[in-house]
């Protein structure tokens, strides 16, 4: 089991797959023990219920769902934030990994 688990949520779970790959490469380059994966908004509930998640990042296209996810995560001590639109658009795995790690430490 990975030391840190980062879950990304987007509309269908597809658009974040490239970002996940870049985040995984950045994590490996830093010798971090992470599990980074993306799911659709519809599949997020099952993962929240059945996995140990350290941080949840929402893709910019589902930012309108933040309130719903705040309710789902209430009392679970899982930080939640929206991925920076510029980093998402540029598929900047380094910056999004930094964003996730910062939230875990806070």
Distance CA(42)–CA(86), nearest Å, equals 25
pLDDT at 106 over 90: no
pLDDT (tens digit, 9 = 90+) per residue, 53-72?
Answer: 999 999 999 999 999 999 99
pLDDT at 14 over 90: no
Q: Which residues are catalytic?
A: 10
For the chain, strand residue ranges (E) read 4-10, 34-40, 55-58, 80-82
pLDDT of residue 15: 72
Domains of the chain: 4-105 (3.40.50.2300)
pLDDT (tens digit, 9 = 90+) per residue, 31-47?
Answer: 999 999 999 999 999 99
pTM of this structure: 0.94
pLDDT of residue 11: 86
pLDDT of residue 13: 64
| Contact in structure between 7 and 53 (CB atoms under 8 Å) | yes
Closest CA to 94 of 39, 48, 51, 32: 32
Share of the chain above pLDDT 90, in %: 89
């Amino acid at each position: 089991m990975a030391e840190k688990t980062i879950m990304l949520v987007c509309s269908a779970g597809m658009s974040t797959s490239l970002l996940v790959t870049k985040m995984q490469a950045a994590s490996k380059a830093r010798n971090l023990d992470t599990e980074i994966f993306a799911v659709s908004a519809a599949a997020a509930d099952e993962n929240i219920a059945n996995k140990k998640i350290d941080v949840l990042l929402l893709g910019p296209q589902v930012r309108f769902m933040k309130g719903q996810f705040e309710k789902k995560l209430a009392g679970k001590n899982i930080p939640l934030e929206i991925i920076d639109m510029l980093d998402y658009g540029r598929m900047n795995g380094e910056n999004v990994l930094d964003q996730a790690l910062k939230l875990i430490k806070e």
